[in-house]
């Protein structure tokens, strides 16, 4: 457990989210993915990843009166963490959206109840996972919905409760690296709202987390009144025939500005930053040359974001729900070009 957060960050090259699985409402396979196997973790390692972000739901497995988490679920999560650690993979274990009990309630009138649940859950999680070495990190939340500065004291109380609960379980958890999330895990909001890290009983063991989804290219699924979806991205990838779906903002210079901003605010001050999620949807509505240009844009985008993050000391964890690696078919790589973009982007 001897590594500081900065030293641990230097060991993480490229991370993969196992999304839509252990955080799925209704059970691990409820959103269409198979159960996580050790073979899946080994395949991810062979593909070039050396870290896993494990989004997990807990509330659906907890007694709503006592807060006690079902032991069978706790054992299953622990088994998956062991798959990672046994294969020398770093693993970031969180409380994900989980029905929104924390994320949707960063407000004063919910603060007491949410903190009670936050303390109860993290006391149990940390106790169960206490014996894993520094390959395991905990993340207190996922995407806390904070829009105004007035919500920040509430968010900070949730982070403080998380840190205090983990540290109180003792053992290796007294020294484990912990990750806290910015307001809406947004880089711009971090710059304007985040003023200081929570307090800790040990020095240099905290990291900060942001996510990165420039909306119109990565997630907007149809044209809207405020702007069209962007199908293409990058200086050499604009369409000459479908100009309505070329981006008019948020290309290379924007990416560099975003990661430079977060580097100056945190990394340069000795606080490592985790890029906990980033991806770009595949536009399956396109065909022919438009689809080919979109796929080229998407690969270029993922490579560019990965490269810019790494250049600024930010740790990239790609969000995958089964489109990159086929978890149900010998863990075959479904998109070799995208994997190549990730691995090359993460290579200095």
Residue 348: predicted pLDDT: 83
Question: How do strand 51-54 and strand 15-18 relate by DSSP bridges?
Answer: parallel
Residue 305: predicted pLDDT: 98
Which tens digit of pLDDT belongs to each residue from 139-191? Answer: 999 999 999 999 999 999 999 999 999 999 999 999 999 999 999 999 999 99
Q: What are the Cα distances from residue 341, in Å, to 90, 137, 184, 293?
A: 21, 26, 27, 16
| Contact criterion met (CB below 8 Å) for 48 and 339 | yes
Alpha-carbon distance of 159 to 156, in angstroms, equals 5
- Strands, E, within 126-205: which ranges? 136-139, 178-181
| Contact criterion met (CB below 8 Å) for 53 and 12 | no
Residue 177: predicted pLDDT: 98
Q: Which band of pLDDT confidence, cut at 50, 70 and 90, is reported for residue 329?
A: confident
Which tens digit of pLDDT belongs to each residue from 196-212? Answer: 999 999 999 999 999 99
Residue of 23, 103, 134, 143 with catalytic role: 143
Phi, psi (degrees; rounded to nearest 5) at 207: -120, 165
277 catalytic residue (yes or no): yes
Which tens digit of pLDDT belongs to each residue from 221-278? Answer: 999 999 999 999 999 999 999 999 999 999 999 999 999 999 999 999 999 999 999 9
Three-class secondary structure of residue 335 per DSSP: coil
Alpha-carbon distance of 18 to 56, in angstroms, equals 10
Ordered structural domains, the chain, with CATH: 5-217+252-287+306-345 (3.20.20.80)
Which tens digit of pLDDT belongs to each residue from 132-149? Answer: 999 999 999 999 999 999
38 catalytic residue (yes or no): no
Section 27-52 average pLDDT:
97
pTM of the model: 0.98
Alpha-carbon distance of 227 to 220, in angstroms, equals 10
Three-class secondary structure of residue 312 per DSSP: coil
Cα three-residue angle 177-320-252, rounded to 5 degrees: 85
Residue 342: predicted pLDDT: 98
Cα three-residue angle 138-53-229, rounded to 5 degrees: 125
């Amino acid at each position: 457990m001897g590594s500081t957060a900065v030293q641990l960050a230097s060991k993480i090259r490229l991370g993969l989210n196992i999304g839509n699985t252990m955080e799925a409402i209704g059970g691990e396979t409820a959103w269409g993915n198979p159960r996580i196997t050790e073979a899946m973790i080994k395949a991810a390692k062979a593909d070039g990843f050396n870290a896993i972000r494990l989004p997990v739901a807990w509330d659906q497995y907890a007694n709503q009166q006592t807060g006690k988490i079902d032991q069978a679920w706790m054992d299953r999560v622990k088994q998956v963490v062991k798959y990672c650690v046994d294969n020398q993979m770093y693993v970031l274990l969180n409380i994900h959206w989980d029905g929104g009990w924390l994320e949707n309630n960063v407000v004063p009138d919910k603060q007491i109840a949410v903190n009670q649940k936050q303390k109860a859950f993290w006391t149990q999680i940390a106790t169960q996972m206490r014996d894993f070495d520094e390959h395991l990190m905990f993340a207190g939340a996922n995407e806390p919905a904070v829009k105004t500065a007035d919500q920040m004291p509430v968010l900070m109380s949730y982070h403080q409760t998380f840190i205090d609960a983990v540290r109180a379980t003792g053992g290796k958890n007294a020294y484990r690296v912990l990750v806290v999330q910015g307001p809406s895990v947004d880089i711009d909001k971090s710059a304007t709202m985040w003023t200081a890290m929570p307090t800790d009983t040990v020095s240099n063991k905290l990291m900060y987390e942001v996510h990165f989804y420039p909306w119109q290219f990565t997630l907007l699924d149809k044209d809207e009144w405020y702007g069209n979806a962007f199908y293409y991205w990058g200086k050499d990838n604009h369409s000459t025939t479908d100009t309505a779906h070329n981006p008019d903002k948020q290309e290379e210079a924007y990416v560099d500005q975003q990661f430079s901003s977060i580097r100056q605010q945190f990394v340069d001050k000795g606080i490592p930053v985790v890029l906990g999620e980033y991806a770009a949807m595949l536009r399956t509505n396109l065909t022919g040359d438009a689809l080919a240009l979109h796929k080229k844009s998407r690969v270029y985008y993922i490579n560019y974001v990965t490269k810019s993050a790494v250049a600024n000391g930010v740790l990239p964890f790609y969000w995958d729900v089964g489109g990159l690696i086929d978890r149900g078919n010998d863990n075959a790589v479904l998109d070799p070009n995208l994997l190549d973009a990730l691995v090359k982007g993460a290579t200095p």
